Amino acid sequence: MSLLGPYVLAALLVGIGVYGALSRRNAVLMLIGVELILGGALVLLVSTAAAGQDQWSGGTVLSLFVITIAAAEVAVALAVILGVFRFRGEIDLFGRGR
């Protein structure tokens, strides 16, 4: 099985995610960039695990843990963003403080 396609897809997702996380000032858009980075890592992990010969690959099981942790991360980050929005009235992370 050729892994070139999934590797290119993972690299594109990570590249777009890094660009989105570093170039945006909005906290929600930065969070979306971080999730794209995690998505690229998951594509790489699952495709590499699928290329293995084992019946139960550790990569597939590990990807389920990563998805669970990413969901918890999004929930906590959105709660923090909501708290910042209620306190400051904006979600611009690098804006002027009041």
Cβ–Cβ under 8 Å, residues 59 and 52 = yes
Rounded distance between C-alpha atoms, residue 42 and residue 58, angstroms: 13
Band (pLDDT 50/70/90 cuts) for residue 96 is: low
pLDDT of residue 66: 87
User: What domains can you pick out in the chain, each with its CATH number?
Assistant: 4-88 (1.10.287.3510)
Q: pLDDT of 15-74, one tens digit each?
A: 999 999 999 888 889 999 999 999 999 998 888 888 876 666 677 788 888 889 999 999
Q: What is the pTM of this model?
A: 0.81
Rounded distance between C-alpha atoms, residue 43 and residue 67, angstroms: 11
Cβ–Cβ under 8 Å, residues 62 and 45 = yes
Q: Where are the alpha helices (DSSP H) in the chain?
A: 4-23, 27-51, 58-88
Cα separation values, 18 from 28, 29, 65, 86, Å: 14, 11, 22, 27
Cα separation values, 54 from 1, 57, 65, 68, Å: 14, 6, 19, 23
pLDDT of residue 1: 65
